[in-house]
Structure 1
């Protein structure tokens, strides 16, 4: 009788060195046989990946996968790992689903809950470099002294599998399992993008900074010449009295001394002001932001070896969107994208989902009329032709207002038109808003739960119903939560879709290795992906992105008529993609 290939393999690297321990598992989490100890963990993992393609189980990608990546890449012909179960990410999803949103999610915290021990608080996020330096140290895993990390991984994984099986309703259970798999796949992709890095030409970056800001100051902390010049001109335009343009309070005071009352220094408010200092302040803010967030200090810290190595935090935002651990990975200014240049003979394949959130709303609500409208290319233009006499701006404002809960200004009539023509879509977001206003929980398509209301919110909400002095403040609070839950169901479901896109694309790219090298993901931002690919395979990569988007749509929304088109460009420079 042929032996059954194990579905999963738990993995625990040694605290220091190249070895580690492995244990085969059944899909249920039950251990199979005895643990395996190896002195060359990366080589053993590569052999098992090639032979069995298991789902790897570890405390977190930072502790289990990141230390292996350099060695896996050095192994001739070794493939990166295809699937994993990230205990830390899965624990966070399950805790939220069970009404324990925000509880500590480390391996040690999950272990403590299993054994009725004091639960340690989560430590601050660390990047891949720190993860390697503190690999499986007690202060990272949060396990009690003397606890066997492999035993903890096996026990927590088995408990998570039990909790997943306990989710009520087969459709809900299947979708949540897809969320678990996609979130874990995101951890693999994030680790690989940090390791590979986004192509970044520091000489181009330096030239751009010099053009915008002036030469790099010789004195650390000094302002570049052009930034200092704008600061002086701003002070002169406001009477010549010195003030700190980075101080919100001092800027407001300087304008007030010239008889100009500002509520804030937001760009939209400054643009409405007819005074030369307004444009100077806008310019100063733009240059100062580039200098502080992506200037020479950023280059020294984040760009090395011709690559920008971002550090993503998977699920770092409550909606499931990613965050970053510094470095501004999700906010590369458009002008600095000129420094993102493909290697010679390679191309950047840049793709983003067109009008993703409105299409997600259409698929979620099952609104057949809006699906017909969205069937073409430009959803807003199609909506304008059907409902707003060809006025695209009105169509866009109305639909965004419905998704984000905006009711002020002239948007009321636009919403009324949408309610009349698309009652299912409008009813979907309004029901989510009512749930939020009542203190309820909403979820994404795959089952990611929103945070519950705070005790302070509950007190304010009670004041809103009781009347009196707190009624107005309580009403504002309940409406604000309604706007949050209204958008959460859309944004979190869009994050579900984007995760599935990323996982499907990553799997396809792994099968495309050619003589010039393997195309690989180098950037991900909400609904946008960038692949660095040999020039000869760039068009094929573009086709794979479209196929991955179609797969993600089927996985998340099933048999829906809603299409999720990808806008794709093959370029040498990132700035040329849009």
Structure 2
């Protein structure tokens, strides 16, 4: 059963419409005032256990969560539209295909204007779509799924994506446990006392003074790349940029204080006192996650840097008294996904071990784990030169199906074709500029076109693996959410998710039960996607008081 939730005919109203399995209205619309919405949704959730259909979970669910109401399932029309409009499997269904190509591989998207997360939302405008528009879109999506070449897989992908929308809103509402006092202490230890206004902290200012002394200049602003680069050149340092990775290769007395300054500057700007004041309230860090915010299906975040909590401040992520943090990490996820995608039985055999690289080393690299890792990651990410390129023939002889899969994805990308994940998320098509470059007859321009083709091949090579890994992680997250909802007595909270890592905050007395649920959810995710395939997806668990103890 579905229930459509949309804006009502007047401001301050909401419309609830019961739908049958085909998306047809099964009752008259019900109009409720927004202050009464949470009670109405709660009653319908208890009685019907429907799948809620709405334009965007973020537009409705936070309001319900604030009123203490949660829902079990939803269909997020905007997230599903983005997948369906680009999917190869819906190309012949008549569903609108107006998705623009991404400018860069794995580029975050939809991070500026929440109303522009999808073409559907852009078309309906900031006011939100009415029930008629949403109903028409929902029916079109159901038809596209049914008429697609792989409806079962596509339906699972859309269900997992929509479940992610619920998890994202719930994690934002719950927040990551964060000790502001510990964060303050870490900042003082690293930077010195909090400076007034926009002044530099004492330790950064001391390093800036050292830098000026070593460069022999009276003034230089190390926060200005242009000014810094000019000062370096005047001191005889032939740096091409002020980037840390390049500066590390230079032997000069000024480099050490400069690199130390840049490290502290990143901490001060990204997670300093201003960040703490802005993002941590009542002992919790509550960022807004963007489900499917990267073209491969990985999540992004809108403000706060939720997916980039640096090691320097992880000690501030601290369990409440009487609680623990369970940090679960899917071990070597992408190589295991590759084995499942390729149905490579020999690689699957190696993946039965908790250390896949050790298993691969034993099968084809004389037990040298380092070489096995370099070779396999080179195959996934397209590193075909140097050590990785030298080891590739051995990897291809040992695992022809796995290497063949990523090689074919790379060739498809070089030809300008679209590739898809296991469940059906498709890569963006190449841009018009890319296609124009491939049509050149000029010899010099042809070299540039070939470089563009190879670059796109590296993107599509990794897309099929990274995107399929994101699907498994989404199903893992959804299965874990379902398991924790079925055991409310455990008092466990999902508080953080990062690609292949999940953090749960729970009472210390229930750590064992929750740990079991996390591991079982990983197995359930594998069964949902790959069925009885002989592949293992183990998770490593760290039970800690604060996040920096986990890694």
Superposition TM-score, scaled by structure 1 size: 0.87
User: 1:94 — aligned with what?
Assistant: 84
Distance 2:192 2:10 in 1: 46
Q: Deviation at 1:544?
A: 0.6
Partner of 1:55: 51
CA RMSD of aligned residues (A): 2.3
Matched, 1:30 2:24: yes
With over 3 angstroms needed to count, the CA separation of the structure-2 counterparts of 1:180 and 1:330, relative to structure 1, is same
The answer as to whether partners of 2:323 and 2:506 remain within 8 angstroms in 1 is yes
Q: Is the 8 A contact 1:92 1:101 kept in 2?
A: no
Deviations 1:409-435 (A, max 9, x none): 232221111111111111100000000
Aligned to 2:272: 295
1:65-144 to structure 2, matched below 5 A, reads 65-73=61-69, 80-97=70-87, 98=90, 100=97, 102=99, 124-126=112-114, 143=124
Whether the aligned pair in 1 keeps the contact of 2:339 and 2:347 (CA below 8 Å) is yes
Moved over 6 A (4+): 15-18, 144-148
Matches within 5 A, 1:310-389: 310-389=287-366
- Residue 44 (structure 1) aligns with: 40
Alignment partner of 2:496: what SS?
A: strand
For 2:121 and 2:423, the matched residues in 1 are separated by 30
Where does the alignment leave 5 or more consecutive residues of structure 2 unmatched? Answer: 92-96, 102-109
1:268 and 2:208 equivalent?
no
Q: CA deviation at 1:244?
A: 2.3
> Are residues 144 and 226 of structure 1, via their aligned partners in 2, closer, same or farther at CA, if it must alter by over 3 Å?
closer
Whether contact under 8 Å (1:569, 1:577) holds in the other structure is yes
Partner of 2:140: 159
CA contact (8 A) 1:29 1:154 kept: yes
Could you say if the C-alpha distance between residues 141 and 429 of structure 1 is closer, same or farther in structure 2, counting changes exceeding 3 Å?
closer
The farther-off stretch of 243-252 and 343-352 is 243-252
Task: Provide the secondary structure at the position in 1 that maps to 2:21.
Answer: coil
Displacement after TM superposition at 1:159 (Å): 1.5
The answer as to whether partners of 2:8 and 2:31 remain within 8 angstroms in 1 is: no
**2:11 is equivalent to residue 21 of structure 1:** no
Shift of 1:253: 3.0
1:209 aligns with 2:187: yes
Q: Which secondary structure does the structure 2 equivalent of 1:24 belong to?
A: strand
1:269-288 to 2 correspondences below 5 Å: 269-288=246-265
Q: Which has the higher contact order (CA 8 A, sep 6+)?
A: 2
Q: How many residues are matched?
A: 531
After superposition, what is the alpha-carbon deviation per residue over 1:390-421, rounded to whole angstroms, capped at 9, x for unaligned?
33222211111111111232322211111111
Q: CA–CA distance in 1 between the matches of 2:57 and 2:212?
A: 50
1:507 matches 2:497:
no
For 1:65, what is the secondary structure of its paired residue? Answer: helix
Contact kept, 8 Å, 1:510 with 1:518, in 2: the verdict is: no
**Distance in 2 separating the partners of 1:250 and 1:164:** 56
Q: How does 1:177-216 map to 2 (within 5 A)?
A: 177-216=155-194
Distance 1:336 1:424 in 2: 43
- 1:503–1:145 Cα change, 3 Å: closer
Q: Secondary structure at the match of 1:470?
A: helix
Structure 1: how far apart are the matches of 2:234 and 2:397?
51
What is the CA-CA distance between 1:27 and the residue it aligns to? 1.6
Once residues 477 and 148 of structure 1 are traced to their aligned partners in structure 2, the CA distance between those partners, rounded to angstroms, is: 40
For 1:148 and 1:253, locate their aligned partners in 2 and report how far apart those are by CA, in whole Å.
Answer: 54
Is the contact made by 2:7 and 2:131 (CA closer than 8 Å) also made in structure 1? no
**Aligned partners of 1:147, 1:385: CA distance in 2, in Å?**
57
> For the residues of structure 2 that align with 1:19 and 1:147, how far apart are their CA atoms?
12
Query: Could you list the runs of 5+ residues in structure 1 that have no partner in the other structure?
Result: 1-6, 74-79, 105-121, 132-138
- Aligned residues of 1:353 and 1:564 also touching (Cα < 8 A): yes
